[in-house]
């Protein structure tokens, strides 16, 4: 065992995490019958690889590390970069990925599975690459990969509505890419680098920077992927607060609009989807609050992680209910909800985190966000956070109320595979558990963050 440890230390886990899903995805494409096995194996190895990377980061690199792919360093070659933040996102992806893979084994019919596994593994590989990206151009490439894989997954059903929905998403994401790329070009022209760490050191508050920022934000908004931005947001942005405040306003609007829309939906899947809009809004609130030194990004990240787990669990419960009752009309859910107690429990636990009630990851994030807003006297944001929580409670209980009607039978033969129910419950439970591990996780977020100008105070 002790002889193996040095070998494990020297393996470049970043490369493994990117290549393994890609190779496995291709193999799935070539041998469709092996796809579920290969996919499950990859998802499991991912978790182990992330753990190994964590170990490596801690003992060998003491916080963060850079890997120059093929020995060509920046600015010529591609650098991979890993720190506590990437580790955390990788960990969340690995866990949710494992859950989704388990769920997919039960969910898809063979002919769908043939198409699902290659694309799904491509998506995982692209996400891993995204979290390792060390420069804003690489971010562009990996975001594009993620977007394309997501579009393909969205059209997996192959019927009319699925394809037209996917098409719409594709157009939006392409437009977003263009806008983002334009921003990258502007920054490259102005500062001569696309490396995030170098940019963080060089940028200052000039019109070019703000134009680039505007373009990139617009682009990422279209892709609804906002988090990489905070890396290099000019620390001097107090001098030009307008765009940052605009993002905050956008976030508030998203919370209110998303929640109200979620409340109005007659269908469960749509309710969950609109709830996502609202939850993403919370992340935007971090922008106006980041002005002072308080590390509000930790709050946003914590919300992001909890949301990833909870929302994955919620979508799975919707899938289970759909499979069992062949519909997801909320008004007629009572006969379904009560026959799937594990699924109902998963929805309830995920709901606790979405509402931001203790104990849950969502609560920790909301607490940190409220703390930042209050200490800066941003009462508008405080109000929105509280109202958002109440609205979330309203739409969660709109569904949960159906678990308590006078429908006769409670238990019935399982027509939903057990793994599908238990996966949902495990992910929801993980979102609750996040509420108890905040201290080590927040510490992890700060690990190695100085190198990229990440705010560490607070």
Partner 1 sequence: MNWDAAIPLLVVASSLLPGLVIFTLAEERVYLRTFLNLAGAVIKLGLVVWMIWGVYHQHHYEIRLALLPNLDLVLRAGPLALLFVTLSSLLWLVTTVYAVGYLEGSPHRSRFFGFFSLCVTSTVGVALAGNLITFLLFYELLTLSTYPLVVHRGTEEARRAGRSYLVYTMFGGGLLLLATVWLYTLTGTLEFTPQGFVQQVLATHRPALIVIFALFIAGLGVKAALVPLHGWLPKAMVAPAPVSALLHAVAVVKAGAFGIVRIVYDVFGVEAAAHLGVINPLAWLAAFTILYGSVRALSQNDLKRRLAFSTVSQVSYITLGVAIIGPIASIGGIVHLVHQGLMKITLFFCAGNLAETLGIHKISEMHGVGRRMPWTMTAFTIGAFGMIGAPPVAGFVSKWYLGLGALQAGQGWVVIVLALSSLLNAMYFLPILHAAWFRAPPDHWPAEHDFGHKETAWALLLPPVITAVIAVAVGLLASAPFSPLDWARLIAQREFYQP
Task: Give the residues lining the site for partner 1 (CB under 8 A).
Answer: 341, 345, 352, 357-359, 364, 367-368, 370-371, 374-375, 382, 386, 389-390, 393, 397, 401, 403-408, 410-411, 435-436, 438-439, 442
CA nearest to 177, candidates 131, 210, 132, 146? 146
Q: How far is the CB of 380 from partner 1 (least distance, A)?
A: 14
User: Which residue, 125 or 351, is less far from partner 1 as judged by CB?
Assistant: 351
Question: Minimum CB separation from partner 1 for residue 413, in Å?
Answer: 14
- Smaller CB distance to partner 1: residue 96 or 333? 333
Q: Which is nearer to partner 1, 243 or 334 (CB)?
A: 334
Q: Give the nearer residue to partner 1 in terms of CB position, either 179 or 423.
A: 423
| Residues 6+ away with beta carbon under 8 Å from 164 | none
Q: What letter would DSSP give residue 331?
A: G
Q: Which position has the token pair 């997919």? A: 104
Contact 203, 140 (CB under 8 A): no
- Counting every residue written for the chain, the total comes to 458
Q: Which is nearer to partner 1, 128 or 298 (CB)?
A: 298
Closest listed residue to residue 200, CA positions, set 58, 368, 81, 62: 81
Q: Least distance from C-beta 436 to partner 1, angstroms?
A: 7
Nearest partner of 444 among 66, 48, 64, 8, judged by Cα: 64
Pairwise CA distance, residues 217 & 176, whole Å: 9
Two structure tokens written together for 257: 């609009």
Do the beta carbons of residue 340 and residue 416 sit within 8 Å?
Answer: yes
**Do the beta carbons of residue 147 and residue 126 sit within 8 Å?**
no
Q: Minimum distance from CB of 358 to partner 1 (Å)?
A: 4
The pair of three-digit structure tokens given for residue 43, joined into one six-digit string: 């998802």
Q: How far is the CB of 142 from partner 1 (least distance, A)?
A: 32
Q: Which is nearer to partner 1, 322 or 382 (CB)?
A: 382
CB of 424 to partner 1, least distance (A): 16
């Amino acid at each position: 065992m002790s002889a193996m440890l040095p070998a494990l230390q020297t393996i470049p886990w970043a490369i493994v995490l990117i290549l393994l899903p890609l190779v496995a995805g291709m193999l799935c494409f070539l041998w469709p019958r092996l796809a579920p096995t290969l996919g499950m194996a990859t998802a499991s190895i991912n978790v182990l690889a992330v753990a190994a990377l964590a170990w490596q980061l801690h003992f060998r690199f003491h916080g963060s590390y850079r890997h120059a792919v093929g020995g060509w360093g920046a600015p010529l070659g591609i650098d991979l970069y890993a720190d506590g933040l990437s580790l955390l996102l990788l960990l969340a992806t690995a866990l949710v990925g494992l859950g989704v893979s388990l769920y997919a084994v039960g969910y898809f019919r063979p002919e769908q599975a043939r198409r699902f596994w290659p694309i799904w593994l491509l998506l995982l590989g692209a996400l891993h690459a995204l979290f390792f990206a060390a420069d804003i151009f690489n971010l562009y490439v990996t975001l594009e990969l993620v977007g394309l894989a997501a579009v393909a997954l969205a059209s997996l059903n192959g019927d009319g509505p699925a394809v037209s929905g996917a098409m719409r998403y594709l157009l939006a994401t392409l437009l977003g890419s263009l806008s983002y790329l334009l921003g990258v070009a502007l920054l490259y022209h102005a500062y001569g680098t696309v490396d995030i760490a170098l940019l963080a050191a060089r940028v200052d508050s000039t019109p070019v920077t703000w134009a680039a920022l505007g373009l990139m934000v617009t682009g990422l908004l279209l892709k609804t992927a906002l988090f990489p931005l905070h890396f290099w947001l000019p620390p001097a942005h107090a001098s030009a607060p307008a765009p940052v405040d605009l993002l905050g306003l956008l976030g508030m609007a998203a919370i209110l609009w998303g929640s109200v829309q979620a409340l109005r939906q007659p269908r469960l899947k749509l309710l969950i989807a609109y709830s996502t809009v609202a939850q993403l809004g919370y992340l935007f609130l971090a922008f106006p609050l980041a002005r002072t030194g308080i590390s509000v990004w930790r709050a946003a990240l914590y919300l992001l992680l909890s949301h990833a787990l909870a929302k994955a669990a919620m979508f799975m419960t919707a899938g289970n209910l759909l499979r069992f009752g062949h519909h997801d009309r909320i008004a007629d859910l009572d006969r379904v909800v009560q026959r799937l107690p594990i699924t109902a429990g998963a929805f309830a636990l995920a709901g606790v985190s979405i509402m931001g009630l203790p104990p849950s990851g969502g609560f920790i994030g909301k607490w940190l966000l409220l703390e930042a807003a209050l200490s800066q006297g941003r009462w508008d944001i405080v109000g929105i956070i509280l109202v958002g929580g109440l609205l979330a409670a309203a739409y969660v209980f709109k569904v949960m109320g159906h678990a308590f009607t006078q429908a006769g039978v409670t238990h019935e033969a399982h027509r939903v595979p057990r793994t599908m129910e238990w996966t949902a419950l495990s992910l929801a439970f993980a979102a609750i558990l996040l509420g108890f591990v905040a201290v080590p996780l927040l510490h992890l977020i700060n690990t190695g963050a100085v190198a990229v100008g990440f705010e560490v105070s607070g």
